[in-house]
A and B are shown apart, each in its own frame.
Chain A
Amino acid sequence: MTDKDKNIEQTQSNQEQNLQNDVQNQKVINSTPLVKSEIQLEFEEKEKAYLEALKENETAGLKLRIEKDRGSLFRKIDRWSKRGSRLRREIFVKRQYYYLVAPYTILFFIFTVVPVLMSLVLSFTYFNLLEFPTFIGWENYRALFVDDKVFIIALKNTAILAVITGPVSYIMAFVFAWLINELRPLLRSFMTLVFYAPSISGNVYLVWKLIFSSDNYGYANSILMQMNIIQEPITWLQDPDYIIWILIIVQLWMSLGVSFLSFIAGLQGVNRELYEAGAIDGIKSRWQELWYITLPQMKSQLMFGAVMQITSSLAIATVSINIAGFPSIEYAGHTIITHLMDYGNTRMEMGYASAIATILFLIMIIANLVVRKILRRVGS
């Protein structure tokens, strides 16, 4: 601020000096001795008086103007010094928005932002809810990756589940939404219900437990035995080789959730005229139509769907607990979240659980950001 102000001050003082000089010069010019007639002298005198009066007026005006400028300068300095208050002022003017946002933001901070930060801090401590947490550095993380064999299993299972169910469910959601979109309205809403219902129907996925039950009353066993593929029932849910595949099937069955609805909505919003234009431009198959016209228009929905699908595929837990048991046989259905629940809810080792949560948090955020970056490139 100061440089500019100094400049302004300097220019103003210069102006004042110039003014004084001018006045002196004028005096010098006027006072040059000359031989004149009386009338002329009188006239000159009058003129001189007049000019002087004028000059006085002018100087007074100038002085006033300078003073005024100085005043505004002071005001400017004042404003500069209260620079921070402009923000305060804006906040004051828009205070009603803050009143509206405040309740949600406070709750959001308490239940989302603070817990994330807390688990980050707690992951470096030993904390059992009774004593005050003690700082132990990277010990929790070291224990997780070096000593804890179960965590490695959980990590592996989560990776398998996420890598298979994530993309497959994403593609499934899109393909079915796309196929449904061509049906007539009544049939369309019926099929939407059929595909969406599994994800909202509570604990109906327990039916899969009956379908894959280990005796020959189970559907899978009875069908396979009738077809003479197997001779005696398979113990689906007790065999570590099968558990994870059953979990994948169940998860896929109930994975057509919010993103599926979002795709349907997005497809309905695609401009119909573009299809006709595309047909004229030489699009021959439905696949070309899908790739060149439909997909680019649905980019934002695709992004949203990806976020929802990735998050849910990395957070498989309740299905595993209810179908494979907790803990499951040979930890075959153990995921990072069940491991987290094990330490957080059962053993009350909050520091250790926080370390697990932090790792999962990082995995989820990184996976999402990477996929978003990839999806952003698809259209271009």
Chain B
Amino acid sequence: MAEDKILIDDDETVAGVELSKEEKKRLKRQEKKLKKFGLKDESKMGKMELFFYKIEKRRRIKKKKRVSRSIVGDISLFLLLCLFGAFSAYPLVYSFCAAFKPLAELFIYPPKLFFQNPTLDNFKDLSMLMEQSMVPFSRYFFNTIWITFAGTVGHVIIASMAAYPLAKHKFPGSTIIFSMVVYSLMFASQVTATPTYIIFSLAGLIDTQLAIIVPAFAYTLGLYLMKQFMQDIPTELIESAKIDGANEFQIYWRIVMPLVKPAWLTLIILLFQQLWNNDGGSFIYSEQLKPLSYSLNQIVAGGVARTGTASAVMLIMMIVPITVFVLSQSQIIETMAHSGMK
């Protein structure tokens, strides 16, 4: 019995035991196969040999993943990507450079993309212009900060509060609410602009900043993303908290909220972009309540004489959201992985 086992375990010849012809054939075939794929028997190697062999193997597997890739295709697609990347980046780079160009360079012919001798003149002009303006510039700045802050914080809290029961519990009316939210993603907010204006004028909110802040609370994409993200929280966690005697609000605040950090960062960024670029629209008339973006747009609208300051303004408006995005990109991507719709 013991000898049989040895025979089976060792595939090479055991001392004193002759292998049958068939078995020899089989072994040869196996060796051929291994050679064909460039594989070797790992058990027969020395330590160093094994180490290099493993690296080689890993590289080969990596190459294997690219079996379906041709070099020509790789290069041409990469060139395509670069081309469109340039198309996408060109205006951004242009407006970045224009902000540092002296006036003479802005109107050079033929126009050039990069600045030759950068100055901060445009920014100085901008600050001069701000000092002259009717309403102190810090006021515009404060308005935008306040609108952005209040709208974002309110939305994140209210939307996540609603998203938690919608994602993790079933109760009468939950499916109706969520399907209405999904349907509301299908039309733009401009459609409801007219009745919203009427509602605001009835409520007396016209010409207050609440007219921009409060609708931001009910931003539908935010709730949608939040709900989709929360659906993957393990139910056991919530149940165990319930057994420990937490009520729903405590579960939401203490357990769910810390877990969905990527989602609320995403909501902050989406809302931030919206509110940062909001210029008050048709809701705010008073000059001292207008946000920053409105006054900057006024400067841009100044025409050819203000090209320099306008490009400085564009740089300011552009750089803030982009910085915020760069800082939180991985979190946003993580949230977006859950954005799928059935």
Residue ranges of A at the interface with B (Cβ–Cβ < 8 Å): 87, 90-91, 94, 96-101, 103-105, 107-108, 110-116, 118-119, 122, 129, 172, 176, 179-180, 189, 191-198, 200-208, 210-211, 216-219, 222, 226, 253, 256, 258, 261-262, 264-266, 268-269, 272, 275-276, 278-279, 283-286, 288-289, 299-301, 303-304, 307-308, 310-312, 314-315, 317, 337, 340-341, 344-345, 350, 353-354, 357, 360-361, 364-365, 368-369
Contact = CB atoms under 8 A, between A and B. Distances in A.
A341 B190 CA distance: 9
A368 to B, nearest CB: 4
A314 B107 contact: no
A156 to B, nearest CB: 19
A42 B38 CA distance: 108
Given A87-B172, A113-B180, A193-B325, A100 B162 contact: yes
A179 B80 contact: yes
B68 A354 contact: no
Given A179-B77, A197-B325, A357 B192 contact: yes
A266 B334 CA distance: 9
Contact of A265 (B88, B95, B98, B337): B337
Contacts of A200: 273, 321-322, 325
Interface stretch (B21-29, B39-47, B117-125, B245-253): B245-253
Contact of A202 (B64, B80, B318): B318
The A contact surface, by secondary structure, is helix
Interface string B85-121: 1011101101100100000000101110000000000
A158 to B, nearest CB: 12
Given A107-B158, A201-B92, A258 B111 contact: no
B103 to A, nearest CB: 13
B30 interface: no
B238 to A, nearest CB: 12
A114 B194 contact: no
A222 B109 contact: yes
B110 A226 contact: yes
A355 to B, nearest CB: 10
Given A105-B177, A286-B68, A364-B188, A202 B293 contact: yes
A118 B198 CA distance: 10
Contacts of A180: 81
A171 to B, nearest CB: 12
A279 B196 contact: no
B64 A91 contact: no
Nearest to B85: A194
Contacts of B98: 207, 210
Pairs A-B, 3 closest by C-beta atoms: A300-B340, A315-B188, A104-B162
Nearest to A349: B194
17 contacts: A96-B248, A113-B180, A115-B194, A116-B191, A180-B81, A203-B296, A207-B314, A258-B336, A265-B333, A268-B333, A300-B340, A304-B341, A340-B190, A340-B194, A341-B190, A344-B194, A357-B195
A202 B276 contact: yes
Contact of B194 (A172, A266, A350): A350
B186 A368 contact: yes
Given A262-B339, A289-B68, A122 B171 contact: no
B145 interface: no
Contacts of A98: 171
B198 A104 contact: no
Interface in B33-77: 64-65, 67-70, 73, 77
A304 B227 CA distance: 14
B5 interface: no
Contact of A222 (B111, B164, B199): B111
Contacts of A99: 248-249
B171 A266 contact: no
Given A201-B317, A253-B91, A364-B186, A341 B166 contact: no
B169 to A, nearest CB: 6
B110 to A, nearest CB: 5
B322 to A, nearest CB: 5
Contacts of B198: 118, 129, 350
Interface string B278-314: 0000100000000001001100100000010010001
Contacts of A194: 85, 88-89
Given A207-B91, A269-B337, A129 B201 contact: yes
Nearest to A269: B337
B64 A100 contact: no
A344 B69 contact: no
Nearest to A202: B317
Contacts of B128: none
A112 B88 CA distance: 34
Contacts of B217: 103-104, 107
A216 B107 CA distance: 10
B153 interface: no
Contacts of B273: 200
B152 interface: no
B329 interface: yes
Contacts of A284: 68
Residue of A96, A129, A201, A217 with most chain B CB atoms under a 10 A cut-off: A201
Interface stretch (B11-19, B130-138, B218-226): B218-226
A111 B192 contact: yes
Interface string B313-331: 0100110011001100110
B260 interface: no
A203 B191 contact: no
Contact of A110 (B68, B80, B218): B218
A261 B95 CA distance: 24
B277 interface: yes
Nearest to A372: B341
B147 interface: no
Contacts of A308: 185
A193 B329 contact: yes
B68 A283 contact: yes
A285 to B, nearest CB: 6
A268 B333 CA distance: 9
A367 to B, nearest CB: 8
Contacts of B341: 300, 303-304, 307
Contact of B68 (A90, A116, A226, A285): A285
Nearest to B82: A191
A177 B104 CA distance: 40
